[in-house]
Structure 1
Amino acid sequence: MARRREADWTQRQAERREEDADKQFARQLRRNLGSPARTLFIGLIALLLCVDVYYRMNPVAPHIDIPEADLNPIGKQVAWSTVEQWLGDGQLGGEARVVSWDGGDAATVGDGQDAETAIVHTFAVSTDLGWWRVEQTVRADGLTPLGSPAVEPIPMDEAATPDSTPAWDGELGTLQATETLDRLADQWARALMGDDDDALTVLMNDDPRATYTALHLGDVDSTSVERLAYLDKGRVNRNKGTSDRAAMRVSVSLKPVAQDAQGARFTYDLLVADPDGTPRVLAWGAPGTGDTLAEHANRSGMRED
């Protein structure tokens, strides 16, 4: 009986020592962790370190937002029609065509006492006398042109020649010509120079309501891509010097309209989207303007729903 009591006492002592060891471990754990605030702070530090490691291993590609221009501002159609009628009178020579609408800016007109707000619309015009920048002012009602167009020549300096470098201020890197880009340039040239407005509209793949007007100049004899470059706009990969926007200089020769005559020749800058994938033309204008062209700026109008 005494032995049993001794064994029970020994077991209780062992259990007490085990309980004391657990309490000591719990106390030591609390001392190591500190207060709940300290525990939360340590957890946040660990989380931030994990996020930093993740983004270092998975860098985000740089992206430059492309400003969206108002492509159908007040008075655009009236200004365009006024300029075309004015050109039809031979004011800038023969074969005059509006090539692109380059934007509209608000201006204050009047004698200072009866001033009013108007919109000055700018167009790029190609004629047999060269390229011109033509501005036509329209009243804020969008219906009344003010005066006749103002013009100035667009200089074709070294920056606008096919072999010069650099060709555009916004050049990011050289782009190699491909069969796909050559074919796109040829399709665009034939649609622009031809007589089918719908063909050009379909090619541009713009808003379903948008319309484009062909130049009705004749049949294309040949098209050549003179220069290509990635532009510092759109989705840019600076490590590779590439982007999803490119400038393309294209020369277009037309078939002669008479025997022994020489066909007309034109040169344009094109703004191209997705040059390394499925490229498409976004806009076109005079040589040297490739990096400044606004997307879909060549719309001639918008159909009403």
Structure 2
Amino acid sequence: MAGKENVWNREARARAKEREPDVEAQARKRVLENIGVKRWVPYAILVIQALILYFVFNPLTTYTPPKQVDLDETGKQAAYSAVADWISDSDPLGADASIISWDGAKRVGSSAADKGTRAYQHKLTVRTDYGWWSVVCTVTGDGKTVGQPSASRVQVDEGRDDGLGWAGALSDLSASDALTRLMTSFGGALAGFDADKLTVVVADPDPDAVFPVLGLGDVKGVTIDKASYLKSGKVDKDSNTSDLAAVRITITLAARSDHDSDTRMTYDVKVSDPDGTPKILAWGPPGSGDTLRNYSNKWMGDKDDMPDYEAQKRSVDSQSATDAAQSSTNQTQQNAAGTDSGQSSDGTQEEGQ
């Protein structure tokens, strides 16, 4: 009996042990539940709500590529050719006509009345001795012109606005005699042929510096249009002045012949010590006077590679002298021929004795 009881006891204890909870397994289960889906559900809901609100107030837009400019519109070459022939035949818009630019095209037609024919109106700018013109030539899709070109005058505003100042300016400056003389010397040297003369006028402290000239010819005059002290440099707050200034000048070139008009060019010039002994630091187009870098106009390449405008001037002067001599010879021969034929030098018939 004792043996059977022992067997029963062992089996009972085994069954009881199987019914006891596994402490380690339960601990692992609780850990997984703590870091599981249930814990992160509220955060996921907040994220989804935030995304919904973002897309409600910031809807997605369809990308639209930028419109490309078609530089080879249908019929462009045909229109260009037609206008070129038209302005050269009997000079309808004036002599010395030339096409300056092609300014685009506009599609027209495609209605029931014209049976769906496509055509393009091409606009070109033309210049003649009568002035500037806007010429429109209509060309069909197969390259045929419609009628003749039409033209209208282009009004060019030749007025000047001297009111543009500089963002870095302090106050207006009254040009001294020394500054006026410097601007006159600078304008003549810049437009002239002698680079050494311009280099002397600029007075760069670098002994090897050289400044290229324009090689345009003689200067008729230089005027100061506007001058202002600059905020850069040493500023005197009491007088609202400084030791740097921007000066706007206009250079007037002498006409090359009796049939030409004077040419004008405008520059901004940056100078130092404008009220004392002024010196030129740099120059550029109107509006740049307060942003110019000192001595930025110097020749950056090899000095030997700089154009020799003096030699060009000598060649031009020599050719001009040759042309003048030839013209004088031709006039003398014409006068002699007129005299031999019984006409005076002014072309009138001489009366018989």
TM-score, normalised relative to structure 2: 0.39
TM-score, normalised relative to structure 1: 0.46
Between Structure 1 and Structure 2, the one with more helix by share is 2
User: Which has the higher relative contact order, 1 or 2, with Cα contacts under 8 A spaced 6 or more apart?
Assistant: 1
